Structure 1
């Protein structure tokens, strides 16, 4: 059992997509997985090809003791959306209690983290494992370095370079992170390259685990590597 937070203070690095693929890896192994989010865009739904009215029956209603619904994305894979309106002041303890109860029902809880509404602070506290997606540019690399300085290193497991091309800057950023993470005993995965195949999956609302395309095997193995790091702790 574990609570896994996908976290980077810089937006747009693919947190939601990576959260979904990471969770899907275990769901397709018949593990029961719940995805939570602090991102009011609820991009998880779009990436999974699911349409839901996110104005009701979500996390906020749950915290207020109202009816809520877990959205079934795939067999064994569930999602609780964020409704996007202001949370009441006493939500913190209720959220902690809810996650405690969910841990009894689910093998894993994967959290798509985004620094909004104060939720991320709670998710940081409750997370047992932190995964950091990144671009291989100077700004995002510096964001990762800052996280390594400010986040509990005992929780950080893996850094995943995402949407990577073949530029010299990207190669230099990868080498820089690789050297730093090795000193800390943390894994830097092989990069997830920009891919027309992934773009097509996103457009059709498909997970990589839905597909048998051989080109995706390398990317699937990256997520398997992440889970090995999590489970070896």
Structure 2
């Protein structure tokens, strides 16, 4: 049974999509079979893995509303060993349409439960909000990976996210755990980045990944070419960092 990891933080611009794209690709590079699910209406993971979000016929939106089958929604091998359930702006309408449905928190779980046997990992890129889409992802997930940007307000909102995760665990998904916190956009030249890391370690009683993702020009460029970093610039520090993160994630398999 595959692990289902939700990449979540209600703050925007913390490197969620970057992490979902590159963790998926680096797990696949290590021989794992991966399904990436884009749960963000902005569709960054979709385009970052090389799919045209405006041209795809079926997306997660149609799948959640029962208007398309899973087999007609999955795009096979967007990158070697990575399949994708794409998303685009249509998904922003799902919030309203899901409200009246019975068991609305479990719709995504019903989909992923059928897919778990086919993949080693299902990586879900959540929207930057604690919305019904995020609740669906947390209900479907086995764990949550939280990217935190190395900046002054890093801890703000984090306690709210952890509270939401605990609520979901109590009421909807008993097995949900926090996979870990990963620091992103780390700038070794500033004292602030270092202070943020120390501050979070002191204040957060959570698993923190040893791997820290640096600020890296190549990492920022890669999505505009529709490629994960390990394919765009295999020798960049960004690629090396995400490979190390993938190794750490794999190392936690038995836990």
TM-score by length of 2: 0.79
> 2:179 matched to which residue of 1?
157
Aligned residue number for residue 193 of structure 2: 170
Among candidates 80, 83, 87, match of residue 78 of structure 1? 83
Alignment pair present for 1:207 and 2:234: no
Structure 2: distance between partners of 1:201 and 1:63: 29
Moved more, 48-57 or 129-138: 48-57
Gaps of 5+ in 2: 170-175
With over 3 angstroms needed to count, the CA separation of the structure-2 counterparts of 1:185 and 1:40, relative to structure 1, is: closer
Distance 1:54 1:9, change over 3 A: farther
Partner of 2:161: 147
Number of aligned residues: 230
* Distance of 1:123 and 1:24 partners within structure 2: 20
CA–CA distance in structure 2, aligned partners of residues 198 and 133 of structure 1: 15
Greater CA drift, 210-219 or 160-169: 210-219
Summarize deviations over 1:8-56 as a string: whole Å, max 9, x none.
Answer: 1111111111011111122223322111232101101222232243674
Residue pair 2:50, 2:225 contacting (<8 A) in 1 also: yes
Residue 118 of structure 1 is aligned with which of 107, 129, 132? Answer: 132
State the SS of the aligned residue for 2:156: helix
SS state at 1:175 partner: helix
Alpha-carbon distance in 2 for matches of 1:51, 1:214: 26
CA distance in 2, matches of 1:188, 1:176: 15
Q: Is the 8 A contact 1:2 1:128 kept in 2?
A: yes
1:98 is aligned to: 111
CA RMSD, 1 decimal: 2.5
TM-score normalised according to structure 1 size: 0.85
The residue correspondences of 1:178-193 to structure 2 (distance < 5 A) are: 178-181=201-204, 184=205, 186-193=207-214
Confirm whether residue 135 of structure 1 aligns to residue 135 of structure 2.
no
After the TM superposition, which segments of 4 or more aligned residues of structure 1 sit over 6 Å from their partners? Answer: none
Aligned partner of 2:15 in structure 1 is: 14
Q: Over residues 45-102 of structure 1, what are the superposed CA-to-partner deviations in whole Å (9 max), with x where a residue is unaligned?
A: 2222322436741122223433342123212211112332333432544433211111
Q: Does 1:61 align with 2:62?
A: yes
Instruction: Name the SS of the counterpart of 2:147 in structure 1.
Output: strand
- Greater shift after overlay, 7-16 or 187-196? 187-196
Match of 1:35 in 2: 36
Q: Helix, strand or coil for the counterpart of 2:144?
A: strand
